[in-house]
Amino acid sequence: MKNKKIQTFILLSIIILLSVILGTLTAHKHQPWIHSDSLKTGIVTQKSENKHKIPYEVQTLYYKDELVARVKNIETINKHFEETYQEAYQKEFPDSKIGLDQDLYYLPQLTYQEYQDVDQDVIDFLETKKLYNVETNKVTFSNGAVIYVKDETDFQHAREKFALNFLDESSLKTLQDNKKIEPLGIYGEQVIDFSVKETIKIERDYTSFDNIYKDEAEILKFLSYGYDPSIDNYTTQKLDTIPGIAWQFGMTPNQIVSINTPKIKSAEQILEEGTVLNVSKFNSPFTIETKHERFFEEVIEQPNTQYIEDETLNEGVQVVETVGANGIAEKRYHDTYINGSSVDSELIKSKILLEPVQEVVRVGTHVEPSQGSGRFGWPLANAYVLCGFGCYTNHRGVDFSTYGSGYGPILASDNGIVSQKGYQAAGWGNYIKIDHGNGYATLYAHMNAPGYFPVGAKVAKGTVIGYVGMTGRTNYPHVHFEVWDHGTRVDGCKFVGC
């Protein structure tokens, strides 16, 4: 009995559902189906003039997903594109054509409505808004960057000019021809390898006129500084030097020269006060790696002086038994740069030409072991002078940085006693000062952490007293090194032999 009631209920439900559907169909028997946009007013005013008994297809034009109008004849629009191209674009973009802006699109729709012909009003709308895309060269980088260029040749020239920021024209041509650059036979430096990490694909595509890079200069600016270039300028002051300016802005002297050609011709050029220089760092879609060979003579510091206590000598008396001398080594390095910035340095070959000689001195037993020898050594190994004494206004020291990363252990330049140790947020950062007990003192700044020895500690020449960092006011890892002569800061290069 219960099952029969359920079956009856299901049957009645089906009958009611069919009745609803049949009633809906009957109600709309004489009313045509209307698309949701059929009676919607677009950007261009367009009236419905008639209704059809059966639906037909119309091409509906949208701009940024907003209805513009129903186009009567697409050929009319296309003909306007052809005429506009010939009148406004053909001279600048020969063998090309124009099409719809990327925010415009056609959508076919079925409708019963007969619409007013407003194709001319649509053309006027396109003309007012300049909603045209030009067919041109689309350059796609393998890292995802995309630009549009008018002339593919301009792009190739700009790419080559950008590369010349990092190597000379002769080396570039040799490497492009897959020729090997022979190792240096005389001391010097040269580029031995060159590569671009990114690949590119060039194809024809449409974009807006304003989105196209029109000439070589515009393309080169993009390759140097990216989509939204921010160009920073600096006006030179009295006594400014190119290495000093490069240090201030975290760049290399070669970069300063390359982006200011022909105004600047070399890193040694004397600057005229008031010269406006471009000091903008590269922000390129290209990653250019260059490998440099460096072949030179490097001084081998003599070992720390050997002091032999001699009770026969009075306090403070010293007798030199063996005169010390620095040695000389011939070294060949391969240095790697990315877009002009040093990232690695590898020692390839080293040959000792002259062995260093350790100095032996007999001293009275009461002589303080902290007494300086008066012969100062470099505060870093495998290093170069980043910014000399006075390389910019009020620079009263010498900046040393290691090849490659710039970092490395900091060495005491001579024997002495730690006289100061501290931190200056707006200047030296972590620093340590050593009194050499003979009227001289040396200071080492921008350590990554406080110096390794407390005030009053005795340190020997060559002792590691800290590590290079970037504390205080600095743009690049280095040690700021100062020599004090009886309380006056003097040029450290005259003592360590830069």
287-365 and 368-498, same CATH topology: no
Q: What is the number of alpha carbons within 13 Å of residue 211 lying toward its C-beta?
A: 18
Classify 332 as helix, strand or coil. strand
Question: What is the mean predicted confidence (pLDDT) over 12-25?
Answer: 44
Question: Hey, where are the domains in the chain?
Answer: 48-130, 135-187+196-231, 232-279, 287-365, 368-498
pLDDT in tens, 311-347: 877 556 688 999 999 999 999 999 999 988 889 999 9
Look at residue 165 in the predicted model and tell me its pLDDT. Answer: 83
Q: Among 25-34, 137-146, 218-227, 229-238, where is mean pLDDT lowest?
A: 25-34
Q: How far apart are CA 214 and CA 337, in angstroms?
A: 31
pTM: 0.57
Classify 45 as helix, strand or coil. coil
pLDDT in tens, 385-413: 999 999 999 999 999 999 999 999 999 99
Rounded CA Rg of the chain: 39
What CATH class does 287-365 carry? mainly beta
Residue whose C-alpha is closest to residue 402's, from 410, 392, 394: 410
pLDDT in tens, 31-75: 333 344 455 678 999 998 889 999 999 999 999 999 999 999 999
Task: Supply the CATH classification number for the domain 368-498.
Answer: 2.70.70.10
Look at residue 368 in the predicted model and tell me its pLDDT. Answer: 47
Mean pLDDT of the chain: 88
Max mean pLDDT range (110-114, 163-167, 306-310, 445-449): 445-449
Which DSSP string do the residues of 400-461 spell out, in sequence order?
EEESSSS--EEE-SSSEEEEEEEEETTTTEEEEEEE-SSSEEEEEEEESSS-SS-TT-EE-T
Task: Assess contact for 299 and 268: CB atoms under 8 A.
Answer: no
Residue 141's pLDDT band, with cuts at 50, 70 and 90, is: very high
Question: What is the mean predicted confidence (pLDDT) over 95-103?
Answer: 90
Token couple for 65: 């997903």
Look at residue 342 in the predicted model and tell me its pLDDT. Answer: 84
Question: What is the mean predicted confidence (pLDDT) over 7-34?
Answer: 43
| For residue 469, pLDDT beyond 50 | yes
Q: Among 81-90, 421-430, 443-452, where is mean pLDDT lowest?
A: 81-90
Q: How many other CB atoms are found less than 10 A from the CB of residue 217?
A: 11
In CATH, the architecture of 232-279 is Roll (3.10)
**What percent of the chain is modeled with pLDDT above 90?**
69
Task: Assess contact for 363 and 307: CB atoms under 8 A.
Answer: yes
Look at residue 230 in the predicted model and tell me its pLDDT. Answer: 83
Look at residue 365 in the predicted model and tell me its pLDDT. Answer: 66
